[in-house]
Structure formats: structure tokens, C-alpha cells
């Protein structure tokens, strides 16, 4: 749903069902301007994903916005550029995404 919302707002979106799939896609050459990271995922959760992302020098600098319903203490365990709690404020989501990305078709 977030992907569709961001596409509607003009952003190009790549989706991954879990952290392992996201790492595979990133290692295959996809370099997003920001990663929206849910912490509660199957196969590889957001904490594991972030540890592996940071350990990879080619991926470590991609900014991460954590989007989670996990409590503040759990969310703060992830070294991220920004944190958004669920339920999401869509205006806040757009503001944080626009800190790192521009919609397609803009300079």
C-alpha cells in the first residue's frame, strides 16, 4: 500500500517481501535514494537487514527510514536516518522521503 501511495505521488518504487530479498536486490545493483524499512518481516527482519546493510560498504550509505509499530526502544536499536511509527501520517512520510528523493520528472 505504501508503494502504491508513493508511486501515486510520483516516486519510483522497488518492493521486497523481506530483508533477504531486499539485500539480494540491492546487491544486484538497485541503488535507491532511500530505504523504507519495516522491522517486522519474515525470513530476515529489519534489525538483521540493517546490520547486513551497514556491513556492506556499497550499501551502507543508503539512507534508511524505519517504519514500524514496534515500541520506541526497539525502533531506536536500529541506526536509521529517520523513524516513523505506525499508523503512519502520510504527510510526514512524504516529508521524510522528500528529504532524500525527488519524485520522477522533477529536477
C-beta of residue 64 within 8 angstroms of C-beta of residue 101: no
What residue ranges define each of the domains in the chain, with the CATH number in brackets?
2-98 (3.40.50.2300)
Say if residues 91 and 5 touch (Cβ distance below 8 Å).
no
Which single residue is written with the C-alpha cell 546487491?
A: 27
Contact 103, 9 (CB under 8 A): yes
Digitized pLDDT (tens) for each residue of the chain, 107 residues in all: 899 999 999 999 999 999 999 999 999 999 999 999 998 888 888 889 999 999 999 999 999 999 988 766 666 678 899 999 888 999 999 999 999 998 875 44
Beta carbons within 10 angstroms of residue 85's beta carbon: 15
What's residue 16's pLDDT? 93
Residue 107's pLDDT is what?
Answer: 41
pLDDT (0 to 100) of residue 5: 95
Amino acid at each position: 500500500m505504501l508503494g502504491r501511495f508513493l508511486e501515486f505521488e510520483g516516486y519510483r518504487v522497488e518492493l521486497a517481501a523481506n530483508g533477504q530479498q531486499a539485500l539480494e536486490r540491492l546487491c544486484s545493483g538497485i541503488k535507491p535514494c532511500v530505504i523504507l524499512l519495516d522491522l517486522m518481516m519474515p525470513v530476515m527482519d529489519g534489525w538483521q537487514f540493517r546490520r547486513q546493510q551497514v556491513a556492506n560498504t556499497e550499501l551502507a550509505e543508503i539512507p534508511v527510514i524505519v517504519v514500524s509499530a514496534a515500541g520506541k526502544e526497539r525502533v531506536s536499536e536500529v541506526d536509521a536516518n529517520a523513524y516513523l511509527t505506525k499508523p503512519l501520517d502520510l504527510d510526514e512520510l512524504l516529508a521524510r522521503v522528500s528529504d532524500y528523493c525527488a519524485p520522477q520528472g522533477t529536477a
